[in-house]
Chains A and B, each alone.
Chain A
Amino acid sequence: MAEIRITEVAKRFGSTTALHSIDLTIADREFLVLLGASGCGKTTLLRIVAGLETATTGEVHIGGKRVDTLAPKDRGIAMVFQNYAVFPHLTVFENIAFGLRMENMAQQEVDRRVNRTAELMHIEALVKRYSGQLSGGQRQRVAVARALAMEPAVILMDEPLSNLDALLRMEMRAELKSVLAESDTTTIYVTHDQVEAMSMADRIAIMQGGRIVQAASPVEVYRNPAAHFVGSFIGNPPMNFLTAKNAGQGRWTVGGTTIDGPDSQQAELQFAIRPEDLHLGDGGFKATVVVIEPLGPHTLVACKVDDQMFRVILESDTKVSPNDVIGIVPQPDRVRWFDPETELAVVGRQAA
């Protein structure tokens, strides 16, 4: 039972504010990913939960107990670091046993737990080795095993896979997800890799400039971004945005055509749509093809609409060439609208 409750946590370094009043509750056994570009405050927030950094204001509760005044060792957490932090002077076995020894656990229990977690992470053959004799991926496994052996209520991970090569990262991603799903821990996982976030998380909290912009399930943040930033940050290629002019009565002029939109008095809104939610057809936007990238399963076409860059994912067998003028039709239920000033999503009447 370890719900993490972060209330009004702020952090200032001198005159710069790293975190503006953060409120976030992570349910027991939830896998929450903190996602954002570097410098957005995600690692700082994690370190505040770990107790490696003190918040300027605000409170952190773990399992109903206030912990922000406690030392890291008294918070019931375990942490996995980006550079693994495997102790170089100890064997793999002693690394995994380190935290258990600090609790003066009986040797028999230490053996049992180390063997179990080593097996879980597939490093049982390496227990007698030292960190210097391990590869990066193996060190990462040791670091995770060391955290799991503690059987903590909360596991905190700070970009644990970012130092691994792409193939290994994909393998570890799936493995970590299944291992953590089987344990009873609540997890906070920091990453700047959106694929990692989408594939592992129960819920993603997207951070920008020391604020949480949106915290929702992966599909929700993908389909219904709460802000312009989320739409442009999540998804590769990112969401398309076009400026739409108010034509009155909830009609908006965009890309040489007029479509239904929110009933708003504003002169301009941002029209947004994912590249895969478009298809070729008449009566849509008039687009001039710029670059064609055949990717196999589909073809990515970069074109210009209203002189703004616009990407469309089309069938691989689509016959288009640069400078062609094509008509592209948005799938009405996938269209989203954003306020150009607040950059937040505008909820309104969707096109029928």
Chain B
Amino acid sequence: MNRIASTITRPERHGVVGGEQRLVRIAFTTTVIVLCLWVLVPIWLLIANTFSTPEEVNGFPKRFFPSFDTESVEFFLGFYGVGKALWNSIVVATLTMIMSIGIGAPAGYALSRFEFRGKSTFRILVLMTRAFPLPLLALPMAVLFLRVGLDDTVFALALVHTTLALPFAVLITFSLFSGVPIELEEAAWTLGCTRLKAFRKVILPLVLPGISASAIFAFVVSWNEVFAAAVLTIEHRTLPAFLLQSLDVAPLHLKFAGGAMLVVPALIFIFMVRKYLFAMWGIANR
């Protein structure tokens, strides 16, 4: 009945709908363009200014293609403390990566394979940890770290970053493991594998690309984090915290060079793993 009704009414309404559709399409295209510019213009400004001479940075109007002057970058890299901060950043991010996958992947596996009481509650709680503002979390932790003697260490910072990256690690690995049919595991069990061996021989090879993506994502979360890094470290600053402190008063072209140093690796990493992040949003919506 409904189908018949709609086929009858469609021709009459066609003209009006056609007009509406064009408007919708224009609005959609405009929104897409605005959003792309919103993201791309700052990145372009950042990179263009990084590879410009200091005079060009302060001058106006800008050239679309920079002069590829590397003076700012070289000066920045030679700047005292940058090398050490960069190293700290790498160490913290690597530790974060290892810890969030080490803890997150087993949780993701359990969520996808076992039925237990409070499973859905647990899933929501995992996401809820992201609802906590970081300042609320960082200050008590600073006090706690002081008490146990972990204050101003890269390990303590990595712990905080792990709490930030962990929910994503759990949800991404959950979706990865759910994508592997349980029958593959069962087949391995009947073919002579223990649970652990079946995991190693069958599941792990299949999810490894996704696990790497999830690890890289944890790395980027840590790499970009500035608040906890600034509050919890003094001597062992990571790059973002160091930049926040040092570049506050630096000339404009150095700020751009520092900014690019931070943004570009993160951008490359995220671009590499974008496929898996989409998969994660898919699962988060379910």
Contacts and interface: CB of A to CB of B under 8 A. Distances in A.
Interface string A316-328: 0000000000000
A50 interface: yes
Contacts of B8: none
A52 B198 CA distance: 14
A52 B194 contact: no
A83 B184 CA distance: 9
A87 B192 CA distance: 15
A103 B205 contact: no
B188 interface: yes
Contacts of A50: 186, 190
B192 A99 contact: yes
B192 A85 contact: no
Contacts of B194: 71, 73
Contacts of B197: 102
Contacts of A72: 186, 189-190
B209 to A, nearest CB: 11
Given A88-B206, A89-B205, A89-B206, A73 B184 contact: no
Interface stretch (A74-82, A109-117, A220-228): A74-82
A230 interface: no
B40 interface: no
Interface in B145-186: 181, 183-184, 186
Contacts of B136: none
B184 A87 contact: yes
B36 interface: no
A98 interface: yes
A52 B189 contact: yes
B85 to A, nearest CB: 41
B187 A73 contact: no
Contact of B202 (A82, A87, A150): A87
A153 B268 CA distance: 54
A102 B191 contact: yes
A82 B186 CA distance: 12
B187 A103 contact: no
B183 A83 contact: yes
B188 A98 contact: yes
B263 to A, nearest CB: 36
B193 interface: yes
Nearest to A150: B191
Nearest to A102: B192
A328 B221 CA distance: 82
A103 B188 CA distance: 12
A163 B8 CA distance: 40
Most buried by B among A99, A143, A156: A99
Nearest to A50: B190
B192 to A, nearest CB: 3
Contacts of A29: none
B99 to A, nearest CB: 27
Interface string B200-217: 011001100000000000
Contacts of A150: 191-192
Nearest to B205: A89
A73 B202 contact: no
Contact of B184 (A79, A85, A156): A85
B192 A73 contact: yes
A113 to B, nearest CB: 13
Interface in B241-263: none
Given A87-B202, A89-B205, A89-B206, A81 B187 contact: yes
A98 B181 contact: no
A85 B187 contact: yes
Contacts of A89: 202, 205-206
Nearest to B187: A85
Contact of B192 (A51, A81, A103): A103
A274 interface: no
A336 interface: no
Contacts of B184: 85, 87-88
Contacts of A85: 181, 183-184, 186-187
Given A51-B189, A98-B188, A99-B191, 6 more contacts: A50-B186, A52-B189, A52-B190, A85-B187, A87-B187, A99-B192
15 contacts: A71-B189, A73-B194, A77-B190, A79-B186, A81-B187, A83-B181, A83-B183, A85-B181, A85-B187, A87-B184, A87-B187, A98-B191, A99-B191, A146-B191, A150-B192
Interface of A: 50-52, 71-73, 77-79, 81-83, 85, 87-89, 98-99, 102-103, 143, 146, 150, 156
